[in-house]
């Protein structure tokens, strides 16, 4: 009775802590301004939702712009829907506030998943401390509210990995409990087993299997490349509109088509295409795949038992894992990388017994990614490859690094290592380096699952090494590499364990935990709501980093700037916002006119300027009347085009 009560108490404590953390998000969720891309991403999410319900919505989605090509809208749809829900609860919130709370809850989910990942490699106490240090990183905490791209990608990357582990856990339990005999047929190579089944099968079933495989390949190639099936459907509709198709099809067209005699058939082609892309294409593919599996069971019974072990619960988990992967791919196409990690782990653990799981996993991922990403509907393969290419072909940005402005495709090799060291709390980097040694020692002593640790190492090393390739684009500090931060903190956990094991005194250990947590917590408190601009003591804090590195690069401080303008500008005033305009619009009074058009500059009473965009300083004219700043680091400036009293806001 004693042990279960301890476990119960521990989980109650963790749940209480989780509720406190969520409540914190509710309390401060409406403090944050909008990031530079948030408005466009919200538009994409809303239009992607509409695309699923009407051809007109799909056409509207396509007109959104190029951003839909390289950022899938799966998460954008979620944060748009939830933001509307939250603004129904919190009446005085902006839609942006609802989006920020959605982002934050996603970040908290990521912290929970990170803790579960740490438990696979580290003692519970170390996993909890490591997760706490991870969660209280000011940059991660701040981006957890305002970043609707990189933070969700990090979280769902984690979720996809953990779901892969859950599938492995379930299969291990089934095999360990006798549900699957791991030695059954293992003496027979899989190739020989296939030949034996094929010889024993009836001729008619072998013909049906051959036919179903052929049909599946034809449908798959058509779905990915040619779209000939849709062309044939349009041809039949054209015949039906003229009344010369097969009789039942003529009558079906008359029933479905409104004003069939007067409406051009081309209008119905658009609806047919949309319906086929949304429902028909994947349905056809799945039907042919199921037909293959059904006939394969009849022709290759022993082989199918070998490659499809376990019960229905295992395959439900595989579908869940595939769905998470597909959703993550629809956030960023490069998420296929985590699918490869999971696949490699399954193959390593279960060899040919993973074949069935891999089939279900990748088919589900493909279907979910396709259905949640309307940009893929018309030309799936071409559009996906184009999206992948755009990940390495970003628009060139100016990057302030060590006091020098570089183009974002020609940064020094040490850019990311330096930013990691300067923007993570000061004790993390040295303990991370200790953790590399500690992890290698744990592997040699066989104290950890080597395969899991190898996966986590690849997760960190491969993307990180990719940034050293010539022409690789990085900007906004390390936010594009946010998804490699969890493995960095896993190695931090190994280093922490080694150090903690060497310390005997309980009080010294508690002091160490406090020393690790305090810099992050204080950074969050002092910089709120600009936590993502955090730099540690190695850079001299944000004041020391201000003229050497990009700090408040998304200009979220425009919210505070607009609060000043709302109080002081005359009704109907014109406000000139240099860059970015949409960061200010949601927070403007209804009677104000905001513009970025240079031809309207002379009519402006106030100018809002973000120092991050130095090229726009030409518009920062008049009397400076207000600043949003931290110490000497200026985030936003307000100029009045008539002299006025200067005010200074300290954040």
Question: What single-letter DSSP state applies at residue 245?
Answer: S
Strand partners of residue 594: 575
Q: From edge to edge, which strands make up the β-sheet containing 606-609?
A: 593-595, 574-577, 606-609, 633-640, 623-630, 649-650
Is the distance from CB of 426 to CB of 538 less than 8 angstroms?
yes
Report in angstroms the alpha-carbon separations of 314 from 183, 297, 322, 470: 19, 18, 12, 43
Q: Is 90 exceeded by the pLDDT of residue 263?
A: no
Report in angstroms the alpha-carbon separations of 76 from 33, 244, 332, 544: 18, 45, 12, 35
Distance CA 98, CA 96 (A): 5
**For residue 341, what pLDDT band results from cuts at 50, 70 and 90?**
very high
Distance CA 34, CA 37 (A): 8
Residue 501: Cβ within 10 Å count: 11
Burial (Cβ within 10 Å: 0-12, 13-18, ≥19) of residue 633: buried
**For residue 650, what pLDDT band results from cuts at 50, 70 and 90?**
very low
**pTM for this model (two decimals):** 0.92
- CA 603 to mean position of chain CA atoms: 42
User: Which pair of tokens denotes residue 92?
Assistant: 């005085």
Average confidence (pLDDT) over 32-41? 90
Q: Is 60 exceeded by the pLDDT of residue 1?
A: no
Burial (Cβ within 10 Å: 0-12, 13-18, ≥19) of residue 348: middle
pLDDT tens sequence across 578-636: 888 899 999 999 889 999 998 898 889 999 999 888 777 788 888 999 999 999 999 99
Q: Is 80 exceeded by the pLDDT of residue 268?
A: no
Average confidence (pLDDT) over 248-274? 71
Distance CA 98, CA 83 (A): 4
Query: Which residue, among 380, 416, 159, 390, has the nearest Cα to 281 in the 3D structure?
Result: 380
Helix (H) or strand (E) holding 442: helix 428-444
Omega before 529 within 30 of 0, i.e. cis: yes
Is the distance from CB of 571 to CB of 591 less than 8 angstroms?
yes
pLDDT tens sequence across 276-291: 899 989 999 999 999 9
Q: Is 90 exceeded by the pLDDT of residue 166?
A: yes
Average confidence (pLDDT) over 116-126? 95
State residue 264's pLDDT score. 67
Distance CA 641, CA 578 (A): 14
Is the distance from CB of 498 to CB of 434 less than 8 angstroms?
yes
pLDDT tens sequence across 185-218: 456 888 888 889 899 989 999 999 999 999 999 9
Residue 110: Cβ within 10 Å count: 25
Query: Which residue, among 156, 183, 172, 177, has the nearest Cα to 120 in the 3D structure?
Result: 172
pLDDT tens sequence across 504-531: 899 999 999 999 999 999 999 999 999 9
Average confidence (pLDDT) over 88-97? 92
Q: Is 60 exceeded by the pLDDT of residue 181?
A: no
Burial (Cβ within 10 Å: 0-12, 13-18, ≥19) of residue 508: exposed
Q: Is 50 exceeded by the pLDDT of residue 183?
A: no
Q: What is the mean pLDDT of the chain?
A: 88
Is the distance from CB of 423 to CB of 541 less than 8 angstroms?
no
State residue 223's pLDDT score. 87
Contacts 24+ apart (CB under 8 A), 120-124: 120/165, 120/449, 120/452, 121/448, 121/449, 121/452, 121/453, 121/456, 121/490, 121/493, 121/494, 122/490, 122/493, 122/494, 122/497, 123/497
Alpha-carbon dihedral of residues 386, 392, 394, 399, nearest 10 degrees? 170
Block residue for tokens 């089944």: 197
- CA 535 to mean position of chain CA atoms: 24
Residue 80 has phi, psi (to 5 degrees) of -70, -45
Distance CA 510, CA 267 (A): 70
State residue 585's pLDDT score. 92
Is the distance from CB of 630 to CB of 651 less than 8 angstroms?
yes
Is the distance from CB of 597 to CB of 530 less than 8 angstroms?
no
State residue 259's pLDDT score. 62
């Amino acid at each position: 009775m004693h042990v279960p009560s301890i476990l119960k108490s521990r989980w109650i404590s963790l749940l209480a802590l989780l509720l406190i953390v969520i409540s914190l998000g509710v309390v401060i969720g409406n403090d944050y301004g909008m990031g530079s891309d948030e408005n466009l991403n919200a538009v994409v999410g809303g239009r992607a939702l509409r695309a699923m319900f009407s051809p007109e919505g799909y056409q509207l989605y396509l007109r959104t712009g190029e951003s839909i090509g390289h950022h899938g809208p799966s998460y954008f749809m979620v944060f748009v829907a939830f933001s509307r829900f939250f603004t129904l609860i919190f009446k005085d919130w902006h839609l942006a506030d609802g989006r920020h709370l959605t982002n934050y809850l996603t970040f908290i989910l990521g912290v929970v998943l990170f803790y579960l990942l740490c438990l696979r490699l580290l003692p519970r106490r170390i996993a909890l401390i490591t997760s706490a240090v991870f969660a209280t990183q000011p940059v991660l905490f701040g981006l957890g509210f305002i970043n609707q791209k990189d933070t969700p990608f990090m979280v769902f990357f984690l979720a996809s990995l953990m779901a892969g582990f859950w599938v492995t856990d379930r299969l291990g339990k089934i095999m360990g409990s006798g549900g699957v005999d791991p030695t059954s047929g293992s003496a027979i190579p899989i190739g020989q087993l296939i030949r034996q089944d094929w010889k024993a099968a009836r001729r008619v079933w072998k013909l049906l299997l051959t036919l179903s495989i052929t049909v599946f390949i034809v449908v798959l190639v058509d779905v990915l490349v040619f779209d000939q099936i849709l062309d044939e459907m349009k041809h039949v509709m054209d015949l039906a509109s003229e009344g010369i198709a097969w009789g039942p099809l003529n009558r079906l067209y008359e029933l479905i088509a409104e004003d069939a005699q007067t409406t051009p058939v081309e209008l119905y082609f658009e609806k047919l295409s949309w319906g086929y892309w949304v429902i028909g294409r994947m349905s056809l593919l799945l039907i042919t795949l199921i037909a293959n599996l059904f006939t394969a069971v009849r022709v290759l019974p022993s082989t199918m038992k070998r490659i499809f072990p376990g019960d229905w619960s295992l395959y439900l988990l595989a579908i869940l894992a595939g769905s998470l992967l597909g959703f993550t791919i629809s956030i960023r196409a490069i998420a296929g990388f985590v699918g490869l990690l999971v696949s490699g782990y399954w193959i390593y653990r279960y060899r040919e017994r993973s074949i069935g799981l891999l089939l279900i996993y990748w088919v589900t991922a493909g279907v979910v990614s396709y259905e949640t990403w309307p940009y893929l509907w018309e030309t799936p393969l071409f559009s996906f490859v184009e999206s992948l290419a755009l990940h390495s072909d970003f628009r060139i940005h100016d990057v302030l690094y060590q006091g020098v402005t570089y183009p974002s495709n020609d940064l020094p090799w040490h850019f990311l290592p330096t930013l990691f060291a300067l923007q993570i709390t000061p004790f993390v980097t040295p303990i991370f380096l200790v953790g590399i040694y500690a992890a290698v020692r744990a592997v040699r002593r066989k104290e950890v699952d080597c395969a899991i640790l190898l996966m986590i190492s690849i997760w960190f090393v491969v993307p990180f090494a990719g940034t050293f390739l010539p022409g690789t684009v990085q900007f906004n500090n390390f936010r594009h590499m946010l998804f490699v931060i969890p493995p960095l903190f896993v190695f931090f956990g190994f280093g922490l364990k080694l150090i903690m094991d060497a310390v005997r005194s309980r009080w010294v250990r508690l002091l160490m935990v406090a020393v690790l947590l305090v810099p992050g917590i204080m950074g969050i408190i002092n910089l709120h709501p600009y936590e993502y601009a955090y730099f540690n003591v190695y850079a001299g804090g944000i004041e020391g980093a201000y003229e050497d590195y990009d700090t408040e690069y998304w200009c979220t401080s425009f919210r505070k700037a607009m609060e000043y303008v709302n109080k002081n500008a005359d009704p109907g005033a014109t406000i000139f916002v240099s860059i970015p305009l949409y960061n200010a619009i949601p927070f403007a009074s209804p009677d104000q006119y905001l513009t970025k058009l240079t031809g309207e500059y002379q009519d402006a009473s106030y100018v809002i300027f973000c120092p991050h965009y130095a090229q726009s300083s030409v518009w920062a004219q008049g009397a400076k009347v207000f600043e949003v700043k931290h110490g000497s680091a200026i985030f936003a400036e307000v100029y009045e085009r008539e002299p006025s009293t200067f005010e200074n806001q300290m954040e």
